[in-house]
Homo-oligomer: A and B are copies of this chain.
Amino acid sequence: MSFAKEPTAEEPLIVAGAGLAGSLMALYLARRGYFVDIYERRPDSRQAEFVGGRSINLALSTRGLNALDGVGLKDEILEKCIPMHGRLIHKPDGGTELQPYGKEGEFIYSVERRHLNEVLMNAADDHSHVNFHFEKKIINVALSDGTPVIENMKTGERSTTKTRYLFGADGAFSAIRGALQKTGRFNYAQEYLSHGYKELKIPGGENGEWLMEKNALHIWPCHDFMLIALPNLDGSFTLTLFLAYEGEHSFSKLRTPGAAIAFFETFFPDALKLMPDFEKDFFDNPTGDLVTIKCSPFHYNDQVLLLGDAAHAIVPFYGQGMNASFEDCFLIDQLLDSLAPDWGEVGRQFTKERIDDAHAIADLAIYNFLEMRSKVSNKNFLLKKKVDKRLNKWFPKSWMPLYSMVTFSNIPYAEARKRAARQDTLLKQMGWIVLAVLAILFFSMIAFGRTLVI
């Protein structure tokens, strides 16, 4: 059968994009002995000077670690990670409060994107059947026969090549997905938040020490907007301001150094003090958009499979973008265990198993923005979190807070969301039962009182 052909040197597997998802996917495929060609529009980041534009550090958690473990890189990566034990909330009065992420020993890790990407590329490069093609972008796919069209980013020259199966890991604005979008009945949605983001920096101290708590993710929640900070290995922190484009508190109001400084003095005075280059960073760094991309299906015939941001770009508020992408690679590798070399079936199964999860984590990530910028300073919310954690302690297997299911387990995202909804319903019912018992007790007391009086 034609769809069951193995890849060869002449007709290799191709991965579009040598970012985090593309590099890990290539590595998983290489470990199976496949011929793999990777096309990346940028120069080799291992040899290039630092290129900005994408976030500097990311939060790595269970799903990502699990996928790194699958290629034997977990320990090497963990060596250069900084554990963050919880959210460190900066309050308006200048005080702080640590809200642990999970149980004792459960935490997430701050990791540098560039380092992580380099480790993955090096590991893939170690396989003799893997070829990187830098500054070459797959700009289109002829879906009649799956032929990728490649543009040389230096010369503008276009060419085509042959492939057995194409993995589209070319990011949120994927050209491969663009080709699929022209096929019949392809569902697609891109939705922007009304907020944008801007990265800033708190440098390390004189001796490379951290000038705020190192082992936490810092949050300054201001209801409509927030500032967060993640620690880096060199003692610095990368800060991100999430703020609406328009409105009372918005980027549109911060167009002069005076206005920006006054805004930070009002809402983030402790952070501002630690940012000597604030003005320069604020006006030199671009303001980024926050987009959610959903699509369906993730595959096309026995030719193409989308993964990572190309399949499901999400907003960063659950710290799951990279983790979900890594989990894609892990799941595809599992499917190959039973289905290889039936590439068409791998694609179909991946779509079938993964679409609901991708949509669930996309929605949860949008919801979590509200939690981070506002709910973390709400007493009822914190009480509910406490009850949630207590129930988890009593019933560790049957009761798990949503955050823990998403961050510290491999429970499929959609299932995690469903379980959390069931738990919330139960919690409300329990609340009513407690109220009812109290009411019965109250009236019994009155009745008892009456009896006494009589």
A interface list, Cβ under 8 A from B: 184-192, 245, 289, 291
Contacts and interface: CB of A to CB of B under 8 A. Distances in A.
Contacts of A187: 190-192
A246 to B, nearest CB: 11
Nearest to A291: B185
Nearest to A181: B190
B190 A188 contact: yes
A289 B188 contact: no
A42 B291 CA distance: 36
A4 B256 CA distance: 29
Nearest to A194: B185
Contacts of A192: 185-187
Nearest to A292: B187
Contacts of A291: 185
Contacts of A188: 188-190
A81 B189 CA distance: 38
A355 to B, nearest CB: 13
A289 B189 contact: no
Contacts of A191: 187, 189
A192 B181 CA distance: 12
A177 to B, nearest CB: 13
Contacts of A185: 192, 245, 289, 291
Nearest to A290: B185
16 contacts: A184-B289, A185-B192, A185-B245, A185-B289, A185-B291, A186-B190, A186-B192, A187-B190, A187-B191, A187-B192, A188-B188, A188-B189, A188-B190, A189-B189, A189-B190, A189-B191
Nearest to A289: B185
Given A184-B289, A186-B190, A188-B189, 13 more contacts: A185-B192, A185-B245, A185-B289, A185-B291, A186-B192, A187-B190, A187-B191, A187-B192, A188-B188, A188-B190, A189-B189, A189-B190, A189-B191
